[in-house]
């Protein structure tokens, strides 16, 4: 036996036009309830003034509309700059989309090439290295914070740092720039300060050791 609320039939009394470019059209039901609607959902469900719908159909329509809006939001977010899957999920959550709509939107974005954590990691590494010399450890930590899988991080680091010499040259460049502004005159203190600086930039001890030897 079906719930009587589920079988409650309603009539679409009007489909209201957009008030502005940023506001969607709205469906008005015979009980006075209104909700936002896109042209895509209107066409998909064949909605028009006078169409009779059940409570269950209204829930389905609203669910599909939310998914559609989440997908549009995902495309807009990824269109501004590359995002990791975790970052996109967080942005959509801020917009108060449901978990189901967020899952559908991230899957949609990935299927159409707007979301790829490996590409994101590679682009992120190149951008960070261009901004300032940083080491593999720092980059790995930053990517982990953005929810990128360890396998994708490892592959991205390997593709950007094809050999250890590249990271060493970055560390040397960072060290020379730091020394140019250092006022420490004691050699041992200057070396310790430089080692701490390079470690904070994410360079491993082996790289730091080689830099210190090189600069001696």
Q: Would you call 18 helix, strand, or coil by DSSP?
A: coil
What is the predicted pLDDT for the residue at 184? Answer: 84
Residue 112: count of CB within 10 angstroms of its CB: 12
Alpha-carbon distance of 137 to 126, in angstroms, equals 14
pLDDT tens digits, one per residue of 3-27: 444 568 999 999 999 877 777 899 9
Contact partners, residue 193, CB within 8 Å, separation at least 6: 182, 184
CA atoms within 13 A on the CB side of 73: 23
pTM of the model: 0.81
Tokens of 176: 């020379």
What is the predicted pLDDT for the residue at 7? Answer: 63
pLDDT band at 215 (very low <50, low <70, confident <90, very high): confident
Strands 52-54, 9-16: pairing kind: antiparallel
Read off φ and ψ for residue 202, nearest 5 degrees: 95, 15
What is the predicted pLDDT for the residue at 23? Answer: 78
Identify the residue with better confidence: 216 or 153. 153
Alpha-carbon distance of 20 to 5, in angstroms, equals 34
pLDDT tens digits, one per residue of 89-102: 999 999 999 999 99
Query: What Å distances lie between residue 53 and 1, 5, 48, CA to CA?
Result: 20, 12, 11
Diameter of the chain by CA atoms? Answer: 87
Contact partners, residue 152, CB within 8 Å, separation at least 6: 117, 118, 121, 143
Average pLDDT over residues 53-75: 96
The DSSP call for residue 118 is H
The answer to whether the CB of 142 falls within 8 A of the CB of 120 is no
Average pLDDT over residues 146-168: 90
Q: Would you call 16 helix, strand, or coil by DSSP?
A: strand
End-to-end CA distance of the chain: 86
Domain 9-111 CATH assignment equals 3.30.160.40:
no
For CATH 1.10.10.10, the residue range(s) in the chain are 9-111
């Amino acid at each position: 036996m079906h719930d009587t609320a589920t079988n409650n039939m309603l009539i679409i009394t009007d489909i209201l036009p957009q008030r502005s470019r940023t506001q969607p059209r709205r469906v008005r039901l015979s009980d006075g309830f209104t909700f936002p609607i896109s042209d895509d959902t209107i066409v998909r469900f064949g909605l028009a003034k006078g169409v009779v719908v059940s409570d269950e159909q209204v829930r389905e329509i609203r669910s599909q509309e939310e998914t559609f809006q989440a997908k549009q939001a995902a495309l807009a977010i990824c269109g501004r700059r590359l995002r990791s899957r975790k970052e996109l999920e967080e942005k959509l959550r801020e917009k108060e989309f449901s978990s189901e709509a967020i899952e559908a939107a991230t899957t949609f974005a990935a299927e159409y090439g707007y979301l790829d954590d490996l590409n994101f990691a590679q682009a992120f590494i190149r951008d960070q290295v261009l901004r300032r010399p940083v080491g593999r450890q720092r980059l790995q930590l930053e990517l982990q914070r953005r929810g990128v899988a360890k396998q994708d991080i490892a592959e991205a680091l390997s593709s950007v740092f094809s050999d250890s010499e590249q990271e060493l040259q970055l560390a040397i460049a960072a060290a020379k720039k730091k020394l140019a502004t250092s006022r420490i005159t004691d050699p041992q203190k200057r070396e310790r300060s430089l080692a701490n600086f390079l470690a904070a930039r994410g360079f491993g001890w082996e790289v730091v050791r080689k830099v210190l030897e090189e600069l001696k």
